[in-house]
């Protein structure tokens, strides 16, 4: 019984343990199931969040792509529009450049040529005008035409240099002669302002170099002219040195000088410094000079102080020639023609001349100039049309053909070629271009060149060179020397006797004063003072023809030998007495 109870108890315990175990297993399964569900739910939530993020990123990417496409399309449209604008701007620029070329051609032919004709007619008219007011007006017109020609020439030079169309023409030249020629040519300008212009030439006269002599001369002339323009008192010195295949030219003045800021701007085109007020020019001279120097492979710089003058220094590479002689520019004339011209008899002076120029004013000027020549009979025929010129040439067989270079129907070179293919003739080019085109004209076959404006003396010299006949220019004016003196000394009185008498009395008193100073030919100070005072009077009577008086001026009398000084003093006394008597 005890065992039976014990077994029952054990069975009960076993049953309870089995139930408890089953309950634990069920609890474990339930916990595992719940944990698994929780894990699954968490994983599902994570995946859902990830999907949402992916979808969001995708939508954002799509939106970004759409925006990018919009911007790309907009940029493409802008690029296409800008490209069209650039093409239109390029076409417009090319059109403007073509118009600019036509404008410059107009300036060359339709402005410079008439201005040159005006200058030529003024030269001819000056001998017919003797009324004081008319003389003053004529001088004003001459000054204006000269200024216009200088302005047009400067604009053309600047355009050629800026556009790169200017060409170099190398020749052999003597630097000493070149600089001396430039300073001699500028002496009248310096004398008019009572300045001393000197050339310090530190090279041998026989030294020869090779470069573009025309351009170098243009540089020297520009710098010297500019120095004279801005110097009111003192001197201008030009120094030339050749060393290490370098030509160094310095132009130093005692003028107004420049500040450092002005030195930075002085080479800019169309720049006018404050000190240039009241001076002629448009601010192109130094800009053109710099362009020329750079074209020659050189350098230019300036050193200056306000109120203490300026110094421009140009260094240009050159080829120094050994054992060479100067190359002199001569017209290209056939040997047979030269011999024929040299053997022309005294009686063979009938020359047929054909003038081809579309400017009737220039034709009239040339015809008038030819009428002023003595010692030669000229049969002059003019025409404005190229085809008519060729026809006339076939009919008249001209000895000399003068032709303009720029004409609307046909240029002068083509006219020359067509006429020369049918007959022998001498051809002279007439052009308003600057002289650097001379080598090209000679290469084309022209025998001589006339650069507008030219005067009757230049024309006569050309005729003499081409024909071998000595040609003189006759004076058409019938005015006496007294009339010329009245025209020079009595400006703007317009025939008023009282005004004329007062001026004449003043001139007499001045001349008497000068003569008193010149009584003692050994008193250099008094002679220099008299020469200085008399110079303006002599310049009014004979402008540009009083360089003989320079050795007696205060700046140069110390360098003049005593015999030369006495000789010039006597000459000055005689001239003053002559003026007084007249």
Q: Which of 168, 186, 152 is nearest to 293 (CA)?
A: 168
Where along the chain do its domains lie?
175-321, 335-473, 481-581
Cα distances from 370 to residues 155, 360, 464, in angstroms, run 32, 15, 12
Q: Which residues contact 222 (CB under 8 A, 6 or more apart)?
A: 285, 286, 288, 289
Beta bridge partners of 300: 314
pLDDT per residue rounded down to tens, the chain (582 residues): 788 888 888 888 888 888 888 888 888 888 888 888 988 989 899 999 999 999 999 999 999 999 999 999 999 999 999 999 999 999 898 888 777 777 766 666 667 777 777 877 887 777 777 777 777 788 778 877 777 777 777 777 777 777 777 777 788 889 999 999 889 888 888 888 889 999 999 998 888 999 988 889 989 998 998 899 889 889 999 999 999 999 999 999 998 888 888 888 888 876 666 655 555 655 677 888 898 999 899 999 999 988 888 999 999 999 988 644 333 333 333 333 333 433 333 344 688 999 998 877 778 788 888 888 888 888 899 998 888 999 899 988 999 999 988 777 788 889 999 998 888 899 999 887 767 677 788 888 899 888 877 778 888 888 888 887 878 877 544 444 555 555 555 554 455 666 667 777 777 888 888 888 888 888 888 888 888 778 767 766 666 677 788 888 877 788 888 888 888 888 888 888 888 877
DSSP 550: G
CATH topology of domain 335-473: Rossmann fold (3.40.50)
569: exposed, middle or buried (C-beta count within 10 Å: 0-12, 13-18, 19+)? buried
Q: Class for domain 175-321, per CATH? A: alpha beta
Q: What integer pLDDT is reported at residue 544 of this predicted model?
A: 62
For residue 285, what are the contacts with CB-CB under 8 A and spacing of at least 6?
Answer: 154, 222, 225, 226
Instruction: Look at residue 349 and give its three-state secondary structure.
Output: coil
Q: Quote the CA–CA distance of 572 and 538 in Å, as a whole number.
A: 10
Note the pTM of the prediction, 2 decimals. Answer: 0.50
CB 504 within 8 A of CB 485: no
- The kind and range of the H/E element at 135 are helix 132-162
Geometric angle at alpha carbon 385, from 379 and 390, rounded to 5°: 65
DSSP helix/strand/coil, 205: coil
Number of other CB atoms surrounding residue 166 within 10 Å: 18
Farthest CA pair distance, the chain: 193
Kindly state the tokens that stand for 249.
Answer: 């030219």
Q: Per DSSP, which regions of 145-269 are E strands?
A: 171-173, 196-201, 208-211, 235-243, 246-253
């Amino acid at each position: 019984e005890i065992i039976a109870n014990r077994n029952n108890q054990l069975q009960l315990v076993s049953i309870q343990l089995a139930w408890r175990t089953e309950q634990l297993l069920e609890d474990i399964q339930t916990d595992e199931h719940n944990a698994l569900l929780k894990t699954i739910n968490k994983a599902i939530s994570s995946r859902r969040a990830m999907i949402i993020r992916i979808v969001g990123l995708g939508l954002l990417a799509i939106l970004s792509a759409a925006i990018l496409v919009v911007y790309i399309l907009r940029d493409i449209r802008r690029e296409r529009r800008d490209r069209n604008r650039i093409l239109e701007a390029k076409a417009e620029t090319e059109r403007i450049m073509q118009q600019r070329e036509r404008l410059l051609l107009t300036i060359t032919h339709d402005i410079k040529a008439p201005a040159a004709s005006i200058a030529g007619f003024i030269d001819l008219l000056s001998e017919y005008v003797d009324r004081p007011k008319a003389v003053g007006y004529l001088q004003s017109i001459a000054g204006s035409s000269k200024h216009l020609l200088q302005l047009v020439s400067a604009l053309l030079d600047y355009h050629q240099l800026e556009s790169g169309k200017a060409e170099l023409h190398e020749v052999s030249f003597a630097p000493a002669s070149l600089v001396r020629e430039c300073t001699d040519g500028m002496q009248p300008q310096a004398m008019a302002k009572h300045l001393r212009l000197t050339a310090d030439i530190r090279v041998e006269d026989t030294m020869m170099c090779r470069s573009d002599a025309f351009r170098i001369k243009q540089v020297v002339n520009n710098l010297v002219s500019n120095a004279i323009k801005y110097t009111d008192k003192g001197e201008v010195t030009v120094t030339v040195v050749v060393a290490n295949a370098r030509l160094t030219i310095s132009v130093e003045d005692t003028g107004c000088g420049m500040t450092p800021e002005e030195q930075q701007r002085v080479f800019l085109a169309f720049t006018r410094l404050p000190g240039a007020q009241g001076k002629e020019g448009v601010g192109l001279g130094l800009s053109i000079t710099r362009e020329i120097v750079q074209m020659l492979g050189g350098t230019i710089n300036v050193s200056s102080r306000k109120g203490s003058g300026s110094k421009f220094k140009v260094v240009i590479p050159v080829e120094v020639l050994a054992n060479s002689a100067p190359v002199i520019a001569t017209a290209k004339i056939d040997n047979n023609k030269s011999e024929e011209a040299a053997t022309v008899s005294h009686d063979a002076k009938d020359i047929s001349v054909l003038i081809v120029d579309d400017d009737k004013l220039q034709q009239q000027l040339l015809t008038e100039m030819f009428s002023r020549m003595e010692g030669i009979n000229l049969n002059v025929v003019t025409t404005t049309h190229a085809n008519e010129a060729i026809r006339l040439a076939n009919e008249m067989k001209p000895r000399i053909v003068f032709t303009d270079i720029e004409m609307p129907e046909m240029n002068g070179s083509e006219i020359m070629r067509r006429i020369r293919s049918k007959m022998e003739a001498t051809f002279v080019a007439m052009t308003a271009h600057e002289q650097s085109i001379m080598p090209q004209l000679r290469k084309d076959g022209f025998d001589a060149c006339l650069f507008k404006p030219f005067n009757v003396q230049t024309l006569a010299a050309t005729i003499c060179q081409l024909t071998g006949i000595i040609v003189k220019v006759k004076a058409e004016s019938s005015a006496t020397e007294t009339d010329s003196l009245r025209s020079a000394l009595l400006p703007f009185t317009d025939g008023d006797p009282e005004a004329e008498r007062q001026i004449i009395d003043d001139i007499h008193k001045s001349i008497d004063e000068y003569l008193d100073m010149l009584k003692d030919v050994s008193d250099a100070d008094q002679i220099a003072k008299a020469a200085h005072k008399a110079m303006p009077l002599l310049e009014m009577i004979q402008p540009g023809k009083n360089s003989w008086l320079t050795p007696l001026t205060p700046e140069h009398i110390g360098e003049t030998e005593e015999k030369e000084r006495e000789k010039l003093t006597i000459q000055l006394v005689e001239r003053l007495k002559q003026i007084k008597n007249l």
